[in-house]
Amino acid sequence: MIKVEKSHLEELGFDWILDNYGFGGPSWVPGAAEWNLTGGTVGNGGNMDDIALPAGVTTRNPITSGNRSGDSAISENSIDGLLKSQAGRQAGARPPGVMGLHYLDDVNVHMLMRGLEQTKSVDVMAKPAVMTRSGQSSSISIVREFMYATE
């Protein structure tokens, strides 16, 4: 019996926040630009509370918070779910931020680079052998026992 199993996950992603970037010259509204580019939370995920904002900035307008990342990008099996719950991780958590950048030409632009690397492997190798005297019965049993709660 030989069993070799390996799972390897590498992820590198970027989350972006953009707050009211005006361009295209002045519009017919005094003090406003002809075109305005911004993010928002409608239809593209959550508020991205894990990105720190500078002092005085209170709103987050995410562009990419709906991207699949971390646990929402891959499905887990029951063993992974059990280990994660024992480690205190939340389901659906994004990978942590590695590097951030904000403020570009007086416009509130945030970029957070997220990185994740996980490796899991299982190796099982068994070569059972039994020696008996002639006429005697023998048996080999390889058992893996999992304890499940019944109540």
Per-chain mean pLDDT for the chain: 68
Q: Is residue 144 part of a domain?
A: no
The 10s digit of each residue's pLDDT in 75-116 is 566 666 666 665 555 555 666 666 666 666 666 777 777 776
More confident residue, 89 or 59: 59
Collapsing DSSP to helix, strand or coil, 95 comes out as coil
Q: Quick one: pLDDT at residue 132?
A: 85
Q: The domain containing residue 70 runs over which residues?
A: 2-124
Closest CA to 48 of 27, 74, 17, 88: 17
Residues 6+ apart with CB under 8 A from 73: 11
**Tokens 């950048």 belong to residue:** 101
The domain tally of the chain equals 1
Q: Is residue 138 part of a domain?
A: no
**Has residue 23 got a pLDDT over 80?**
no
Q: CA 55 → CA 52, 58, 59, 106, distances in Å?
A: 9, 8, 11, 14
The average pLDDT across 12-24 equals 72
Q: Is residue 129 part of a domain?
A: no
The pTM score is: 0.44
